Structure 1
């Protein structure tokens, strides 16, 4: 532990000065304001324009609410979930009901429910055990049914059903024995089927009358398979849109004439893939597309929509997104993310060019001193560019040059996936950590998606190797810029970010002052053994990008990249959070590295939530874990921390091992246990 205190007196003095400035400039923001339920979120308008909907707490649990568009003050709760918050919902095509999916305890066996807007009557549409529903097709013009996929016959593959929304009847359309996805047109006809190939590529088949052709109409190689796929049809079915990286690095948006097969490039950008589009609810044609490199930039393709996008840009400051549109396309819901403040949702009347404010999702943060976020480009040691996002503690950068006046402690916050990315915008984790006195840096290391197939492929077989080097390079960049000092960098993340934390603590044990691993894998061989059956369609790609556990060579690659086998190298404090029902990163991934450290008498704190899966959906559990985390980081890096107080209220938190190694945790758990025991019914 000596190197933790090896900083010079000058470095200690300047860090203390910087933290004092933060404390004077920004009052401590309560965890509940950052991680508790938002007051409202996910604002939508019904297809007929008569109703507004959103998620909001009801008896402390996120539920669906509706209100007449003509009078949003007459809102009423529509659902009565009491155990698991609703996180995703959508309107039925005829606007008579709202549909939502939910699982049990984080097991990701999502079932589909409907609730009648007029009566509030709720029905489970997929009443099956150990089944994960997929929605394959919705139509603006077919109002009475949707297409869904169910894997209740074979857990690996989703059979396609037509679901009658009035009666709940499921009618089998296609028995699926090997297809990973389907293309559906606006008449809810199956048009294409995609099949994974043994080499990691994908074959695309034509479907007619629910029969799949014997031979593929085209094949996509492994190098393009992550960035190339058909994505939707126009309402008349004459144009099929693709995102396509074949013959280029970044994926372009392409329109294929289904009668002649002629293909036209609609949009492309050399910096980033085209991954976002706005489609007309009337014609189904793409009328605008978004490019997300440093920030999301929207470009209109249709002259009738350009004035609307210009109007929104001129009247709303921040990252603007259109979240729903009526069938008539006369009313939109629009969300604006100001980055250094909570998001606001508006109702936009296109004809009147009028914005009506509906809600701020976290109004309690409007008066808080929040931090800005700056996109930065960081060069890796081998010349790649990591698009990254830096947030500094409020009050630490008086001259506004993007660097704190004095180096401050920093948290390297690593995104999951790894096939995903961090983005510009309001980020609760960034705001929380910055408020506590830390700089926060989120790098899009190689293998991150959205930056072209070469950048994605640069991460192949590089878990714990060049992917980890990219994280070290990002930390070194921050030290060189004067953002932080080498001795005051922690690493933290969830899923792959949790893996990266464990890799940092084991492969480079002197590099980080401490680590926080949230649902991260420790042994890549056992990780791949336990992936859900319904991931089979992407299995070959995973094996080619990570290592093939079916071969001795692949097993060796995976073992070499597994932190579990280097657990005895850990010398800095480590905190682990895990959900007991995680179907992606099994609880074994946490328990086995904890056991290995325990066997070597290496301190580690292990927090387990019995009612969570891959990440923590219940705000009570998030608040509990982050309360421990900020005390942990405070001891490690010297930042601020809100006292535990009632942080564990309502949480299912358990600490199977190492509570004594986390500051104040034993006492907080004892207080929680005492309060729970004294409560009625305990």
Structure 2
């Protein structure tokens, strides 16, 4: 046991999030997204180093930087309306004027990439039909647009070939069964590149620079996805790159000198750069407190922008010069008030579940925990279905651990990153086998001499929130309390109320969860809303009023049902949020209340009044 400096929730969330990166046309600036003002905005930082400059000044709705224009100082960014996820694509002119390129109520748009010559860009929008996304080509000079593909099948645009003769699409039948289609822009012929039998993943990765071949991801005859290539003229296929875990991205640089490979190695994202022709790895700096978590190579292929992230180190933005082999830190996001050495590094652990299946997990042990100073514990349940708890900085987890809670992030069956058999092991079993994995996690925690076995709770968001509700409803005696953020309580209504643009992908949910009509009995059996009378342990529910994925009705219903049985439930609704908390003030309010709730029900501290107002503003 060691003495631990206690930090406030305000100090933890003074550490801000940074993400995305794009080089300016002259490669003197890097565009990125930052929450340092309390909400996400676009910033730019000099490649040579210096003070970042704020480019957008939103105070109410999150803005996410997308890209600099290839030949001038304009930028593209996206913004939705208070978390409704109907993102519009905007251009920010050099003089600061904003222009909505995709106007319309209920319209959802997405930037898809630049043409190889930089004179146009591609984007998609569902303005014609809310179910489908049509593809447009917009000129850089006049911002004039041309429709290049009208979708009626739910195809997923991936990219246009560098010579602009072909468009490649993906089509997801289920999570484990995907196809690739190639459209000739000249003839209009749509070619099915990956006919197959059975459930196999085929997903586009990138065109070769000469447009003659296509790299793709597949798990054909393998537990994990790898990179293969198909020659478009002959159909000849070959394996390019395999790794011990899932390869989930392969990106050649603009001139074809380098290629970037991203691998999921059992919950740890690993990025490598290779000489694209020889396949030889490029030596990059190593970082003792983290790993490279994302990378972008400049058009000149002389610079690499990348982030470093670790359990005790939130994203830091670096630039690397290939010619001289040096890296320079440009942006630090960890609050100066927090000593990273006082934070906690996670440890990979595993345990056997009820049927002998090995369940991987990450364990955060508080510094103050020991056999003589036992601590309460939380089982952290990730989102999904098919999500994953990974290594990396989480202010929420570090705040809980700093307050003396051990945290076990369980990758229950159905989690990604551990092979396709493990991924498929939860189909139509939610609320049962994956939940039983979490019950076994409690037994694993009980084997640790520093855990107070009578004080183990569950916490999770989105699908993880559903798992919390399922834990309290279906195994009511197992956990001392639960915290549900944006969690599903009624699968029948959830699937019936999906946004229109999810309709092409409903087969995935029908296979994974069940059909709302044909399998209604199954879905009702898996839905905590129909079993809320069994919830006897304290519950806290956090919800965004504008959530388009998990409607507020999901939260209202479970809260009302628990209250009818005189159960203990605390409820917070944020009127300016959707499926998650984007504003610093809301994150501070929510997690301050969560820790106070846990202190009351896992530690018996009654000094703080419960949150039970059904809303927060």
Would you call these one fold, judging by a TM-score over 0.5? Answer: yes
* C-alpha distance in 2 between matches for 1:221 and 1:128: 42
Kept in 1, the 8 Å contact 2:12–2:338? The answer is no
Kept in 1, the 8 Å contact 2:258–2:276? The answer is no
The within-5 A match list for 1:477-626 is: 477-551=444-518, 554-626=519-591
Query: Which sections of structure 1, spanning at least 5 residues, go unmatched?
Result: 1-20, 398-403, 644-661, 677-682
Q: Does 1:636 align with 2:601?
A: yes
Give the one of 160, 173, 186 matched to 2:148: 173
Q: Does 1:26 align with 2:1?
A: no
Q: Does 1:448 align with 2:415?
A: yes
* C-alpha distance in 2 between matches for 1:208 and 1:338: 44
* Partner secondary structure for residue 342 of structure 1: strand
Deviations 1:298-324 (A, max 9, x none): 5554389999853412x6642123532
* C-alpha distance in 1 between matches for 2:15 and 2:609: 27
Kept in 1, the 8 Å contact 2:177–2:202? The answer is no
Give the one of 52, 57, 68 matched to 1:80: 57
Q: Does 1:332 align with 2:308?
A: no
Q: Does 1:320 align with 2:292?
A: yes
* C-alpha distance in 1 between matches for 2:441 and 2:411: 10
* C-alpha distance in 1 between matches for 2:551 and 2:69: 35
Deviations 1:174-221 (A, max 9, x none): 111113212422244543334455999545433112765367343356
Q: Does 1:423 align with 2:390?
A: yes
* C-alpha distance in 1 between matches for 2:508 and 2:105: 28
Identify if the C-alpha distance between structure 1 residues 488 and 100 changes in structure 2 by more than 3 Å, giving closer, same or farther: same
2:199 matched to which residue of 1?
223
Identify if the C-alpha distance between structure 1 residues 410 and 306 changes in structure 2 by more than 3 Å, giving closer, same or farther: farther
* C-alpha distance in 1 between matches for 2:278 and 2:194: 34
* C-alpha distance in 2 between matches for 1:366 and 1:598: 40
* C-alpha distance in 2 between matches for 1:616 and 1:289: 27
CA deviation after TM superposition for structure 1 residue 501, in Å: 0.5
CA deviation after TM superposition for structure 1 residue 60, in Å: 4.5
Kept in 1, the 8 Å contact 2:74–2:91? The answer is yes
Q: Does 1:465 align with 2:465?
A: no
* C-alpha distance in 2 between matches for 1:196 and 1:212: 22
Q: Does 1:247 align with 2:193?
A: no
Identify if the C-alpha distance between structure 1 residues 212 and 219 changes in structure 2 by more than 3 Å, giving closer, same or farther: farther
The within-5 A match list for 1:8-407 is: 25-36=3-14, 38=16, 42=20, 44-56=22-34, 60-70=38-48, 72-73=50-51, 75-94=52-71, 96-116=73-93, 118-139=94-115, 141-184=116-159, 185-195=161-171, 201-209=177-185, 213=189, 216-219=192-195, 223-224=199-200, 227-269=201-243, 271-283=244-256, 286-298=259-271, 301-302=274-275, 309-313=282-286, 317-367=289-339, 369-396=342-369, 406-407=373-374
Compute the RMSD of aligned alpha carbons.
2.9
CA deviation after TM superposition for structure 1 residue 164, in Å: 2.0
Kept in 1, the 8 Å contact 2:267–2:417? The answer is no
Deviations 1:331-358 (A, max 9, x none): 1123222422333222211112222221
In the comparison of the two structures, how many residue pairs are matched? 615
Give the one of 663, 666, 673 matched to 2:609: 663
CA deviation after TM superposition for structure 1 residue 286, in Å: 3.2
* C-alpha distance in 2 between matches for 1:570 and 1:286: 52
Kept in 2, the 8 Å contact 1:40–1:361? The answer is yes
Identify if the C-alpha distance between structure 1 residues 210 and 303 changes in structure 2 by more than 3 Å, giving closer, same or farther: closer
Kept in 1, the 8 Å contact 2:380–2:459? The answer is yes
TM-score by length of 2: 0.92
Identify if the C-alpha distance between structure 1 residues 202 and 431 changes in structure 2 by more than 3 Å, giving closer, same or farther: closer
CA deviation after TM superposition for structure 1 residue 76, in Å: 2.7
* C-alpha distance in 1 between matches for 2:374 and 2:175: 48
Q: Which moved more, 1:29-38 or 1:562-571?
A: 29-38
